[in-house]
Structure 1
């Protein structure tokens, strides 16, 4: 019973999940190395981003709102077109 629960939680057998994660880790490692990125640099960038947001205070919330609006101007029409095309294929 615990094996099926564990498999359901992991999304497959533990061995398959471990192999998939090892493969994906290898591929992501190659990509990061090709881009000359260090995972610790990514962590530092994320921490610096949060610190800048904290230091900017409520002004940062307004900027985040602006980013949301700007992004939605691009994302929502693309999503709507994809949904309409998917509906057309189902009929």
Structure 2
């Protein structure tokens, strides 16, 4: 193995040790994690869906203002690009 590979392996060992210590502090065992994988995946999926539902309305609300302003500010640049393409 070259030096960079050993460096990556060493980092993974250190991070794994720290995460293992943190999980042990919260009384989480590897067996618990394996048995809880389906529930954990479902909880993560639900959290992502809720985040999209929460943030989606704010993105749309902001886009109502931001997109027209952006178009107005850049319409001159767009005209210039089209004019330059038509010139021989």
After TM superposition, the score normalised by the length of structure 1 is 0.44
After TM superposition, the score normalised by the length of structure 2 is 0.46
